[in-house]
A and B are shown apart, each in its own frame.
Chain A
Amino acid sequence: METPFWLWLIEGPFWLIAATIFVLGVGWRLVSLLALGRRRDLSVPRGSAAGGALRAILLHFIPHGGFFSSTTFHVLTGYLFHLALFALLLFAAPHVTFLEKNVLGFAWPAMPRWAFIVTAELAFAGLILLWARRISDPVQRQITDGGDHAQLWLTFAVMLTGCLALEEASLALRGLHMVMVELWLIYFPFSRLMHAFTWALSRGAMGATFGRRGVMP
């Protein structure tokens, strides 16, 4: 199929602009976070800050200390959604091709079609369950703001348009998916989607404080 001009625009210049905003924005935010530094602590350390940071980063993948029962739903649906999303992002055949052509220059084995579909189902189930919880838990309702809804719906739009293009028979649908991806990339550095990068920093900072005091994070 010959690429029409609008699709070229979406997959060419617009893609470059979005990717640039994403990379520069994320870099800027990470650098500025790190540049904040830590307040000098004059007390005598009772343990290793680095060890504490590492321990927090790893241990907090699973809630512990009696928190599991109260967060079971969140842990399960959170992992369901994120793992499925990463699997889709990295191993769906059209994504592998796209990354090879537009970003990396090399490819790896993609998952079979049936696994692609099942993974998409799981990712949607996770996201919809997380949304259902967000709108129906009194506490979560209190702490949810417009940004949370915006990033949730934008992510949903990316996934939805992707699933609508599953037949891979329409350039318009492929273009639509691509536009949503680009909007998502542009919004990313300005939103809490940044948690994809900052989670390690915040866990690490907290773990370092605890570790230095000789407390298990």
Chain B
Amino acid sequence: MDKHRRWLPSLAALGISARAGLAAMALLLASPLVGPSLGPGAWLGKALGPGGAAWAQVAAPGNRLGTAPPPARLWRDIRRGRAGAPSGTAIGTGVLVQSEGQRWRELHNRRVRPYGGWALLGSLGAVALFFALRGRVRLDGPRTGRRMARFTQAERVVHWYVAGLFVLLAVSGLTLMFGRGLLLPVMGKSAYGALASAMLQGHNLFGPLFIAGILVMAALFLKDNLPQKGDLLWIAKGGPWMRSHAPSWKYNIAEKAWYWLAVVAGLVLSASGLVMEFPWVFRDISWIQLANLSHGIAALAIMAVALGHIYLGTIGVEGALEGMTTGSVEEAWAFQHHEMWARETAAGSAGARGGTEAESEGARPGAARAGHAAAE
């Protein structure tokens, strides 16, 4: 294949459906900028933006019983959150209007939700743009047939366990966050009610399983995601953009950043999720409000970046998925993408075996033949 075609903008090389998809995505993203009443973006904008259906307006208590307005002092006490003596509540206190709740709702409905929504769409757009400009990052040369062990069975199982749960939680969580604005008007109340109940039950059930997974994953993958000398070289040499093969250790600095984001956001999600799942443990409602906001922010951040991770792990980089499915990667891939790690691994296994074979856990039959070109 022509070298330049691969990273120069090459829309012409894309299939008609891919081009149509990109155009639709661009239109969607741009339409709210063009005109408020134009295109699907306007519909999204209406649903998500300020004043949109996505954030329900809750009126302040107005239609009280009785004819005379309550004394100003009573209102003041209520607004200041003074506790009264209600005739009976299962949980909660006698506080009638919890004024901080308005701040929470403001933040949740006007900040987290719309900005998060746009961050997700923006991430999708960025992935599409990256694909349009850079195309699939292919293997440079022919496959050597030699394999290099990259992930142990335990690492692979934990990765797919976490990834599987992540998808289930993302789908159910997104439905809960955006469903009221985007789906309810289309589906109607009773259908959306059933859907929301289903998604809430699923989300609550899968959450704890994810927590266990992210903790094990954080521990298993920690070692190779610590900063190493030479990490910055990868950026200096242009990272994924250039064709000069920026060298890196087992994970380049972008992958390391993904690890740390996944771990930190994962822990925030876990802690805040637990607070919301067991609200009676934290009697103070401000904890629950804080948990809710941080849950939303962490979830949208991890989802936005996960889109990039998933793209690079599947279509984006030829030969990357093999590592996570079989445990080993093509030797040419290892040297092309993680040169410092590949050299180290090759030297290590040559030393350990007293030979020059690239060792491999999931090698294809006859793959680990002699003649390993560790020094290229």
Contact = CB atoms under 8 A, between A and B. Distances in A.
Interface of A: 73, 117, 120-121, 124-125, 128-129, 131-133, 135-138, 141, 160, 163-167, 169-170, 172-173
Contact of B326 (A124, A128, A141): A141
B197 A131 contact: no
A129 B201 CA distance: 21
A163 B205 contact: yes
B376 to A, nearest CB: 27
Given A124-B206, A136-B326, 16 more contacts: A73-B153, A121-B209, A124-B205, A125-B209, A128-B209, A132-B158, A132-B160, A136-B157, A136-B325, A137-B153, A138-B326, A138-B362, A163-B201, A164-B198, A165-B201, A169-B197
Contacts of B165: 128
Interface residues on B, range: 20 to 34
B201 A132 contact: no
- Label chain A's interface by main secondary structure: helix
B156 interface: yes
A128 B160 CA distance: 8
Interface string B155-179: 0111111001100000000000000
Contacts of A137: 153, 156
Contacts of B324: 136
B38 to A, nearest CB: 36
Interface core residue of A125, A133, A136, A172 (most chain B CB under 10 Å): A136
Interface in B182-210: 191, 193-194, 197-202, 205-206, 208-209
A24 to B, nearest CB: 33
B157 A129 contact: yes
Nearest to B147: A138
Nearest to A77: B157
B181 interface: no
A172 B190 CA distance: 10
A124 B164 CA distance: 11
Interface of B: 153, 156-161, 164-165, 191, 193-194, 197-202, 205-206, 208-209, 212, 324-327, 361-362
Contacts, number: 75
Nearest to B325: A136
Contact of A125 (B200, B212, B327, B361): B212
21 contacts: A73-B157, A117-B205, A121-B205, A128-B161, A128-B164, A132-B157, A132-B159, A132-B161, A136-B157, A136-B160, A136-B324, A138-B362, A141-B325, A163-B205, A164-B201, A164-B202, A167-B200, A169-B197, A170-B197, A172-B194, A173-B194
Nearest to A117: B205
B202 A135 contact: no
Contacts of B205: 117, 120-121, 124, 163, 166
B197 A136 contact: no
Contacts of B212: 125
A173 B194 CA distance: 7
A53 to B, nearest CB: 34
A132 B164 contact: yes
